[in-house]
Amino acid sequence: MDSKVQYPPLPLIQTWVWMMVESENPEIQEKGRNNLIASFGSLAKANEYLQQQLK
């Protein structure tokens, strides 16, 4: 039984990363981080997923 985890669309994930990395606003940075963690369980998992998608 293969239950494939459904992740958000790549452009949305990239937006969250942008919010976290590029924004000068701490609230926006936190929102991006929280969205990534909520979707992937950790920032490391989100990063791993992005690396696979962008190969």
pLDDT tens-digit series, residues 24-38 = 999 999 999 999 999
Within a domain: 22:
yes
pTM value? 0.85
Within a domain: 1:
no
Structural domain span for residue 38: 10-53
Centre a 10 Å sphere on the Cβ of residue 9 and count the other Cβ atoms it contains: 8
Q: Which of 53, 44, 18 minimizes the C-alpha distance to 32? A: 18
C-alpha 38/C-alpha 18 separation (Å) is 16
Q: Which of 23, 12, 22, 24 minimizes the C-alpha distance to 50? A: 12
CA-atom Rg of the chain in angstroms: 12
pLDDT digits (tens, 9 = 90+) for 6-55: 899 999 999 999 999 999 999 999 999 999 999 999 999 999 999 999 88
| Residue 5, pLDDT above cutoff 90 | no
Within a domain: 29:
yes
Within a domain: 36:
yes
Q: Which amino acid is at 20?
A: M
Q: 54: which DSSP letter? A: T
